[in-house]
Structure 1
């Protein structure tokens, strides 16, 4: 029989530049999830610092990434719980011509070991592209974990079905997406049509991605005070049902739900998506860019 995993999705309002305070809040949620026998806890993107790259102390704060990664590894072992600690922004090669900031998601096992590491590929808008370095053309990795084969994506990666296809063809059935997605990410024109446009985007894409890949998704977004633009909507999604649990658009909190992996096999038997992707004659096996000789 397929396993049932108890998943805790955590929606936080990270206070800008408050590393230790945000970590302690996250750790409190994770300890609570562990006491409720959760197998996995997932935090949002940028949960340690918020996204404030113009703060003059932001880059220095990112230099402490190893300290907090180790704290999460110790916490995972202490609580015997698998953790995806949102994302941690890492400063590498500080003060050199190759200095860079990387936005990184980790899968930490219930034994406190790193099973996987993923650097954000699809950067959002000019502000992320100005400050962060993308993983660019590096392949999307899939990791062997205590929960089976898992893929990690980050925030705007959600918009690209190709990312999911790559993970699915490599065997991932569970895809975890830490996110910092706000309602104000929409353009003024879009907001004039629908002030909740980004919420519609998230709900629609998350459910669609589950169906079109016969996979499960754990989506952890930042939340915050009403009127500040936070989208929230953290959820655990599967085919057929859509969201098994879905947090509100603003508030902090945690939801714990049983994720029955058998549902994915029922959906695959019906839709045969992964089966068709594995065929040698799959007719969508194409390149998105023409060979250089034809450019």
Structure 2
């Protein structure tokens, strides 16, 4: 079983982004099963208008149909890092991660919980994700041949309580699709990812956008991290993909030898709540 993170430089044109993604998906290794993660905003990355034009109701529309088709044709588990989905009765959208199995079936979704409303010392300076998006409310852990998948998106990474909750729900692999800024990525991306892997004893599969998109500068550095915190693969720059195997026996051994989930004295598990 192999984990794959794809890294692209996405823009505001879905057709151009689709062409990039199709080319990279053709470079996947031949072995199966594969769990393939795309970055956040790999569908569209640009103005509020471009995002609204690409938005679809959950489970409907030609963009989501394309991802379903790719998953089925390639025989892969495909996780769309995020795509804009409509909220009935609201002008704001959800940033939604979609999980397709090898039959092309949508087996789970996650609406981004934490919205990136911050000021950063870069070319753009001010980010207000809540201008276009509404936060989700629910955690998502999905059964798969690779283990249980815990879903998150980008800014979620700064909230360790989310990942602790995913671990409590049985997550084995933490998925982190992202469009981290260059400034924050250089400072915090890898340390945060390694911390989430170590403290939860999970694999971390993280796929990032890379490059410049207007005033936006994204960090890339897609990475696969072991449950011991080791960086197994990393793609610092450019478009491409990284691949690493998942070792379920080692995962189980790490948890057995150091059972931190059972030792946590503030957890609901310890308190039998």
**Residue number among 89, 104, 107 corresponding to 1:112 in the alignment:** 104
Runs of 4 or more consecutive aligned structure 1 residues displaced over 6 Å after TM superposition: 278-281
- Counterpart position of 2:133: 132
Query: What is the distance in 2 between the residues matched to 1:32 and 1:38?
Result: 15
Shift of 1:57: 4.1
Change in 2 beyond 3 A, CA 1:280/1:161: closer
Change in 2 beyond 3 A, CA 1:63/1:238: same
Q: Give SS of 1:208's match.
A: helix
- Counterpart position of 1:144: 143
Encode CA deviations 1:33-69: one digit per residue, 9 max, x unaligned.
153546111110001111432xx34312324873111
Change in 2 beyond 3 A, CA 1:146/1:240: closer
User: Is 1:270–2:263 an aligned residue pair?
Assistant: no
User: Is 1:32–2:27 an aligned residue pair?
Assistant: yes
Q: TM-score, normalised by structure 2?
A: 0.86
Larger Rg: 1
Query: What is the distance in 1 between the residues matched to 2:133 and 2:209?
Result: 19
Shift of 1:22: 0.6
More strand by share: 2
Query: What is the distance in 2 between the residues matched to 1:7 and 1:31?
Result: 16
Q: Give SS of 1:83's match.
A: strand
Which ranges in structure 2 are unaligned for 5 or more consecutive residues? 118-126
Which ranges in structure 1 are unaligned for 5 or more consecutive residues? 187-197, 286-295
- Counterpart position of 1:260: 247
Shift of 1:256: 1.3
Change in 2 beyond 3 A, CA 1:34/1:75: farther
User: Is 1:9–2:1 an aligned residue pair?
Assistant: no
Query: What is the distance in 1 between the residues matched to 2:268 and 2:159?
Result: 23
RMSD: 2.5
- Is the Cα–Cα contact under 8 Å of residues 204 and 227 in structure 2 kept in the other structure? no
